[in-house]
Amino acid sequence: MLTDYQIARQTHHDNGSWTVVLRIHEGEITTEDEAGEDLVLRAVTRYRRTNLLRAVMLQFGVVSATEVVRLCRVELATDATRTPIDEQTDGYAIVFSPVVIAVEE
């Protein structure tokens, strides 16, 4: 199975820190018929979400918005049983550790 994340909510606080709510999904690359702009059905192969695994709230210290995205990718990579989608796999070096506030499963 593959996984991806969606930033459901993010708050950039006055002190420069961030609070981010991630939704972690699993899915697969499948081929299905989809209608194009011309309404003609064509086989399209792409990643499709099949299940919401969990929602997690993270707090990061003073980092840039780019660093928040990279750190979210680090969180996604912590799942030992699933592989992140290619679009969310770069930048796994952990520089700042997030503080996990809450997890919903």
- Read off the pTM: 0.74
The torsion region of residue 71 among left (phi > 0), alpha (psi -120 to 50) and beta comes to alpha
Identify whether the C-beta of residue 27 lies closer than 8 Å to the C-beta of residue 4.
Answer: yes
How confident is the model at residue 98, as a pLDDT? 47
CA 5/CA 57 separation, integer angstroms: 12
pLDDT > 70: percent of the chain: 85
> Kind and range of the H or E element at 60?
strand 41-60
Q: What is the pLDDT of residues 17-54, one digit of tens each?
A: 999 999 999 999 999 999 989 999 999 999 999 999 99
